[in-house]
Chains A and B, each alone.
Chain A
């Protein structure tokens, strides 16, 4: 099958900075700005420094039935691309053609009104997603059964539990049966279990010959699902091809990027920071490079650093974040009793973790250098990821699992039962 599902040609999107809706410009601001602009005209109103090309010259084609992963760092233009393809916003330049009905899992629960019943919301939400009423009528029972809300279908959704609400919302979106499905895992709400449900749905749709575009930060999911991956950076397509190569590029670029939460706390220019982490290696106990660990294995993390000025009493930190950004654990030199009086120049530091008791998931390593009292941050970098494998433990079991000590004495139990039997007969004897 060689039919196209989607073709993008030289797509570009220009944003005026500050056009993000965070603060609403008032008429007064606008009037003042335009008055100022009158006095310093430069003749190019759209090309000034207050603009940003979120997307530039993006061209690609997707055939029917393909499952394409889109990866890239925050701000690489992935979400903007999906917004254009789902027609929420228009491109500034270029054009895209689409063959078929587009659905996206961004939209789960949009248009729900808390005062309306499940039944009413189902119709409303279906209509918003573009389903004709006849189609909703036909799929009604199926959707309700899928959401498992049969008993409450005529109750206002404000009385629903959040789980029921999500199930119903997802059930509507999942029955849209789009020809092209767009998933932005980064933005989609919901816990890991819900995200899994979305992926299963995507897979099922694709087996039914639908086309899927899948934006994700989860390289394992991308590798497992996609045969083709588009890697984006700075609003442009950097690579389009086999997932291994795309992920390699992505990881190469992301290896030592600044942790997003540290923006504003650190100088954006790495060379201006007192200490920089120049390499992070993830190894097994014996020093072999690895990215998948079995539950209970120990892990070696080796850091290369370069201190451009003398740093006294540095505190090296390694934090492990689950892929849904839950901080799981932290190892740091100050608390683990390693004191480093001062550092200057290049060097290496390594930690051997205790046996990993984290549940099976994808984790990211953030490396930070603080002072001993956690007052000043010298460096914060991230990028390496690893996976923990276990046949049973998942985030349903919590963040980590550690064996506990149980105590059960069969003899005590029996004596207790006998004792009870004895006491119940005792009053009879007395009477």
Chain B
């Protein structure tokens, strides 16, 4: 008798990641990302231009309010560029977080009727906004050329920072999407959470305005590390504080492990509750 191709039993282990199953379903991941990208700008007049317009308009508003009226310091960089470099990872992150939080509930029909590793859904939701990010990135490079700035060699570290942002969004998305299946309160919480999180991240202001004593606490926000990393890699600002980065990375890993355990625990009843 050959080994069974599937064994169905109550889950017992705490961290049963089942990476093999996710690998088997990697093509589904690809198709779900592709669906998101494809459907996102259907029936819009401006289409994919939205991906570029959103950060561009936010940059304009920030420049007028924070750059001109409030006169927020920008570490000696032109404020529009200073803001846009931060807005790119931030827009990506907030999109990834909000899309992944509704990823399971938005496809309830699938969850109820078909088996696949459920982790694929929040995963696809955090990968798909990366396409928007890439489009906006072209705009950023054009802006930098306009200001006569060329990226430093630190640009090779950029994918690393983006990955850190992706993992952060995934970690939060795992918690939120699983919670959302049971408690629809999440839907109302996410916009508020996004807003709070933006104030806690150096998007409109530099980390240098944060008092020394608060820095380590501030570093607990992984997006602080990601955004500082972007400014460093692209604009050659002083390198990010290694201490802060370490705190960020540890915070992300803790959040991710917790998220996976929680998601896996909740996963067993998704189809019954959704």
Q: Which residues of A contact B (CB under 8 A)?
A: 3-4, 7, 15, 19-21, 24-28, 30, 83-102, 106-107, 110-111, 113, 115-116, 120, 123-124, 127-130, 132-133
A90 in contact with B273 (CB, 8 Å): no
Sample (14) of A-B pairs whose CB atoms are under 8 Å apart: A3-B1, A21-B272, A21-B273, A24-B184, A87-B6, A89-B272, A91-B9, A96-B8, A97-B4, A97-B6, A113-B35, A116-B35, A124-B31, A130-B25
B268 in contact with A90 (CB, 8 Å): yes
B28 interfacial by beta-carbon distance below 8 Å: yes
Q: Select A87's contact among B10, B25, B30, B115, beta carbons within 8 Å.
A: B115
Q: Closest CB-CB distance, A29 to chain B, in whole Å? A: 9
Known A7-B4, A26-B183; 10 more pairs at CB < 8 Å: A19-B273, A84-B8, A86-B115, A89-B271, A90-B8, A90-B10, A90-B11, A98-B5, A111-B107, A128-B28
In the bound complex, residues from chain A placing their C-beta under 8 Å from that of B7 are 95-98
B39 interfacial by beta-carbon distance below 8 Å: yes
Q: Which residues of B contact A (CB under 8 A)?
A: 1-2, 4-11, 25, 27-28, 30-31, 34-35, 38-39, 42-43, 107, 109-116, 182-185, 268-269, 271-274
Q: Closest CB-CB distance, B247 to chain A, in whole Å? A: 30
Q: Closest CB-CB distance, B48 to chain A, in whole Å? A: 15
Q: Closest CB-CB distance, B2 to chain A, in whole Å? A: 7
> Cα distance A26–B184 when bound, in Å?
6
Given that A110-B110, A110-B113 are contacting pairs, would A87 and B185 also be in contact in the complex, using a CB cutoff of 8 Å? no
In the bound complex, residues from chain B placing their C-beta under 8 Å from that of A27 are 183, 185
A98 in contact with B114 (CB, 8 Å): no
Residue of A nearest to B24 (CB): A130
Q: Closest CB-CB distance, B37 to chain A, in whole Å? A: 11
> Cα distance A123–B185 when bound, in Å?
34
> Cα distance A100–B3 when bound, in Å?
10
A127 in contact with B31 (CB, 8 Å): yes
Q: Closest CB-CB distance, B267 to chain A, in whole Å? A: 8
- 10 shortest interchain CB distances as A-B pairs: A87-B115, A97-B4, A95-B9, A127-B31, A89-B271, A96-B8, A98-B6, A115-B42, A27-B183, A88-B271
Given that A90-B11, A92-B10, A110-B109 are contacting pairs, would A115 and B274 also be in contact in the complex, using a CB cutoff of 8 Å? no
Q: Closest CB-CB distance, A6 to chain B, in whole Å? A: 9
A21 in contact with B38 (CB, 8 Å): no
A99 in contact with B4 (CB, 8 Å): yes
Given that A4-B1, A90-B268, A128-B114 are contacting pairs, would A96 and B9 also be in contact in the complex, using a CB cutoff of 8 Å? yes
In the bound complex, residues from chain B placing their C-beta under 8 Å from that of A107 are 113-114
> Cα distance A138–B4 when bound, in Å?
27
B31 in contact with A123 (CB, 8 Å): yes
Q: Closest CB-CB distance, A157 to chain B, in whole Å? A: 12
Residue of A nearest to B180 (CB): A24
A19 in contact with B269 (CB, 8 Å): yes
In the bound complex, residues from chain B placing their C-beta under 8 Å from that of A97 are 4, 6-8
In the bound complex, residues from chain B placing their C-beta under 8 Å from that of A15 are 272
A128 in contact with B116 (CB, 8 Å): yes
Q: Select A101's contact among B4, B5, B8, B30, beta carbons within 8 Å.
A: B5
In the bound complex, residues from chain B placing their C-beta under 8 Å from that of A129 are 114
Q: Closest CB-CB distance, B182 to chain A, in whole Å? A: 6
Q: Closest CB-CB distance, B112 to chain A, in whole Å? A: 7
In the bound complex, residues from chain A placing their C-beta under 8 Å from that of B1 are 3-4
In the bound complex, residues from chain B placing their C-beta under 8 Å from that of A106 are 113
> Cα distance A27–B184 when bound, in Å?
8
A111 in contact with B114 (CB, 8 Å): yes
Q: Select B8's contact among A98, A113, A124, beta carbons within 8 Å.
A: A98
Q: Closest CB-CB distance, B18 to chain A, in whole Å? A: 12
> Cα distance A111–B116 when bound, in Å?
12
A91 in contact with B8 (CB, 8 Å): yes
> Cα distance A15–B114 when bound, in Å?
20
Q: Select A115's contact among B5, B27, B43, B109, beta carbons within 8 Å.
A: B43
> Cα distance A123–B30 when bound, in Å?
11
Residue of A nearest to B25 (CB): A130
B35 in contact with A87 (CB, 8 Å): no
B8 in contact with A95 (CB, 8 Å): yes
Given that A3-B1, A110-B109 are contacting pairs, would A116 and B39 also be in contact in the complex, using a CB cutoff of 8 Å? yes
> Cα distance A20–B112 when bound, in Å?
11
Q: Closest CB-CB distance, B118 to chain A, in whole Å? A: 10
Residue of A nearest to B115 (CB): A87
A89 in contact with B268 (CB, 8 Å): yes
> Cα distance A87–B28 when bound, in Å?
17
Q: Select B27's contact among A30, A100, A116, A127, beta carbons within 8 Å.
A: A127
B274 in contact with A91 (CB, 8 Å): no
> Cα distance A247–B274 when bound, in Å?
35
> Cα distance A406–B210 when bound, in Å?
93
Q: Closest CB-CB distance, B38 to chain A, in whole Å? A: 7
A115 in contact with B10 (CB, 8 Å): no
> Cα distance A113–B268 when bound, in Å?
26
In the bound complex, residues from chain B placing their C-beta under 8 Å from that of A96 are 7-9
Q: Closest CB-CB distance, A11 to chain B, in whole Å? A: 8
> Cα distance A24–B179 when bound, in Å?
12
In the bound complex, residues from chain A placing their C-beta under 8 Å from that of B114 are 86, 88, 107, 110-111, 128-129
In the bound complex, residues from chain B placing their C-beta under 8 Å from that of A130 are 25, 28, 116
Q: Closest CB-CB distance, A45 to chain B, in whole Å? A: 15
A87 in contact with B112 (CB, 8 Å): no
B27 in contact with A132 (CB, 8 Å): yes
A94 in contact with B9 (CB, 8 Å): yes
In the bound complex, residues from chain B placing their C-beta under 8 Å from that of A86 are 114-115
In the bound complex, residues from chain B placing their C-beta under 8 Å from that of A92 are 10
Residue of A nearest to B183 (CB): A27
